Structure 1
């Protein structure tokens, strides 16, 4: 006699059954998800949000009030020169300073170590930070532009070419500052040390880059040369070329806007920042070995 057997669905004896497979999320989806996490964490910290967006605005209002009645040689109010440069300072603050301190915090509290141990591609963490700095930089620029146009009559360009210039200066500036901020995060030994280590050189750089001193040609020659090494000066010059008349270019050190040189310097800092990130970035703090 032959024993009767009954095949049930889902058992190995059933040739028609197929095991269910769980589809893993794509890298792009993981990157977007990490970006959402970064944004939620940032906007939940109300103190950090207020300080990030308020600092450039407060400086613009205070310094703008000082320079409001002063006229540059071209007849342009000095407050407008300041306002155009403060856009660059706002990008530097949101991308360089905030990114350096936030990554240092992630490293110290073990976030980077935990993320390194989960099945998430490392690029998702960095894309998440890129999404964060892009959003915060856009908001920062919008706030500064609103203050500048309302209180200091900074003219918004009507020429498409000027907005194209704004776009590439913005993108190169955000990229360079973000990469430099990521590299800078490896310098502080702790979160407490991060604030002074990151903010002090950035504050000095704002002075030598002609952000607070307008026009920049009033600075001593040696300080102008130091500022010309770093991207902040070229970002400010690029934004001045967008929002101010071409006659104002005569007040720049070279007497012209130098768009080609601006692009070259900013692109060089993007490349240099990338090399620094690849060679210095650490997933663990020094105390972890």
Structure 2
């Protein structure tokens, strides 16, 4: 009998093929965060006191968090809302595809998209703003576990958030509201984050985006840039703890809220 893991991998391949056939979705997913990076990196002056720490370099690191959130959370939420509305989930329910296999397929899709998004953002940073890439293996190791935890946490939360969407047409608008708000209060679009009111930083610290942005800055920025963070340090242990906790929270919410059919069909 075919295992759930095998079915999930096959489903992931199907999801990727379906996505690449949608040129509009590909353009928006890959190039919108890159466009924002180009704008922010070009508009904001290099007003940091530390040498070698320009606005473009900071945004190149921080925008990776935005790229993952928009790719994993929004793509996941919109995709499931669409599958539920067009009857895809109802049809899959009568096949060997379990909920776990379906989730795995979706996570494979968003992981592949997020990886491609990171490549695009880094390419923009390197070729347009001469952002240096880290040479130490330890930094890339940090990038690896940070990327994995970020994709899983945002993907699972996207699955849970799809239960709040009433129709596929409004899914993008509904899911973009918390994403955009969290980017501003989490230090993605505003850096140093200490420019924000203390209560905003406190609120942002509860959610994963702040820790994702801080974590990716720890990978791509020099060590002395840690002094610009809210805690005055990179805090990798706390970052892993918070993101791991949100992976668990996201999984619990998925199990509690996922439905194969629309409420109106119940």
Which TM-score tier does this pair reach, normalised by the shorter chain?
over 0.9
Matches within 5 A, 1:74-223: 74-75=50-51, 76-223=53-200
- Structure 1, unmatched stretches of 5+, are 1-23
Q: Tell me which structure has the larger Cα radius of gyration.
A: 1
The two structures have a TM-score, normalised by structure 2, of 0.96
Task: State the distance in 1 between where 2:61 and 2:49 align.
Answer: 17
- The C-alpha deviation readout for 1:6-48, integer Å capped at 9, x for no partner, is xxxxxxxxxxxxxxxxxx5444432222111101110111001
Is the 1:91–1:173 contact (alpha carbons within 8 Å) kept by the matching residues of 2?
yes
- When the two structures are aligned, how many residues end up with a matched partner? 265
Task: Give the match's secondary structure for 1:185.
Answer: helix
For residue 58 of structure 1, the aligned residue among 18, 35, 48 is 35
2:219 counterpart of 1:234: no
| Separation (CA, whole Å) in 2 of partners of 1:72 and 1:121 | 51
Q: Which segments of 5 or more consecutive residues in structure 2 lack a partner in the other structure?
A: none
In 2 relative to 1, CA 254–28 (structure 1 residues): closer, same or farther, beyond 3 Å? closer
Give the corresponding residue for 1:71: 47
3-state SS, counterpart of residue 91 of structure 2: helix
Q: Deviations over 1:175-222 (max 9, x none)?
A: 100010010000011112211110111111111111111111111222
Partner Cα separation in structure 2 for residue 73 and residue 226 of structure 1: 28
Matches of 2:255 and 2:97 in 1, distance apart? Answer: 19
- The answer as to whether partners of 1:107 and 1:285 remain within 8 angstroms in 2 is yes
Matched residue of 2:191: which SS? coil
Q: Which has the higher helix share?
A: 2
What do the CA deviations read for 1:62-109 (whole angstroms, capped 9, x no partner)?
111112x32313231122111100001000011001100110000111
Cα deviation, 1:220-254, whole Å, max 9, x if unaligned, reads: 22211121111011011001001111000000011
* Cα RMSD, aligned residues only: 1.2
How does the TM-score come out when normalised to structure 1? Answer: 0.89
